[in-house]
Amino acid sequence: MVVPPGVAARCGAAGKYRLASTSALRAVITLAGLLAAVLVLSTTPAEAATLPEGFADETVWSGLTNPVNIEFAPDGTVFVAEKGGEIKVFDSISDTSPSAFGTGLATAVHDFWDRGLLGLAIDPQFPTRPYVYVLYTYDHVLGSSNPPPRWGDGCPNPPGATDQGCVVSGRLSRLTADSTGRRMVPGSERVLIEHWCQQFPSHSVGDLAFGPDGALYVSAGDGASFNYVDHGQTGNPCGDPMGGAGVGDDEGGALRSQDGAPPATRSPWTARSSASPRIRWPACRAERPR
């Protein structure tokens, strides 16, 4: 699908365009499973000690706290996202003394199991456009007037992480770097999308990437249980569509789908409440930053 400049588009069950045929989608899912298996196998001690010919294993940086994402800016600056909400900035790959970007997101980020600050993208015109985009699990319940944190990087029992789940949401935000490009301008977080209601601690928010069309692509999970085929039958606190029989629906099938149709006149970039758009699973989304 080609996304014209200045146009927001959705694909998958939520929108006007489909990702692929059922057989093609099944093939993609199968391939993803095989890749995951390869990754698991490659992390075993036996495999880790054996590198392909022409490769070398070298530690570039150490001392980072749960690094989950690394991005290179056009000027060579390296940004490393830590799961708890901070971003470390290196002048180059030879820089061994990073500076903290100073996101101030530790309270807002729910750093628990698969949840945390997971997505990171740098504006393709950085530092002319000094923007850093982050996607994180927001420790907040959609529609609640109570500020974060709701759970504080944990999940008590009850409700229990895998029993009823600690409900949170997700945020896509734009952060602005100062003139040095190494520190965030205090208070510059601009929330672009706040949604992705999540019940269970797996399948949280995903990754960010700029496409060749200049659009920012956002991926996210469904916050479903990994213990059973979850279509929302455990309380369904997110109000996801379950179909007439309550055993799945035409949009998600055996997968857990999310209600994602916003009012036609509402801009997803300014939406903040529980009426903002959600991403269905499987689905994708493309937006052009402003």
CA 105, CA 18: separation in Å to the nearest integer? 35
**What pLDDT, on the 0 to 100 scale, is given for residue 285?**
37
Contact between 117 and 136 (Cβ < 8 Å): yes
DSSP state of 162: I
What is the chain's pLDDT, residue by residue, as a tens digit (290 residues)? Answer: 333 333 333 333 332 222 233 333 333 333 344 333 433 333 444 456 789 999 999 899 999 999 999 999 999 999 999 999 999 999 999 999 999 999 999 999 999 999 999 999 999 999 999 999 999 999 999 999 999 999 999 999 999 999 999 999 999 999 999 999 999 999 999 999 999 999 999 989 999 999 888 889 998 888 999 998 888 889 999 988 775 555 555 555 455 666 544 434 333 433 333 333 232 333 333 344 45
**What pLDDT, on the 0 to 100 scale, is given for residue 258?**
60
Q: Is residue 236 packed enough to be buried (19+ CB in 10 Å), middle (13-18) or exposed (0-12)?
A: middle
The token pair that represents 153 in the structure block: 């990087």
**What pLDDT, on the 0 to 100 scale, is given for residue 15?**
29
CA-nearest of 185, 205, 216, 182 to 285 is 216
DSSP state of 51: P
Is the pTM for the entire model greater than 0.85?
no
Count of beta carbons in the 10 Å neighbourhood of residue 148: 19
The token pair that represents 47 in the structure block: 């495999």
Q: Is the dihedral of CA 280, 28, 3, 190 positive or negative?
A: positive
Is 9-287 a CATH 2.120.10 domain? yes
**What pLDDT, on the 0 to 100 scale, is given for residue 231?**
81
CA-nearest of 197, 195, 276, 284 to 239 is 197
* Amino acid residing at 199: Q
Q: Is residue 14 packed enough to be buried (19+ CB in 10 Å), middle (13-18) or exposed (0-12)?
A: buried
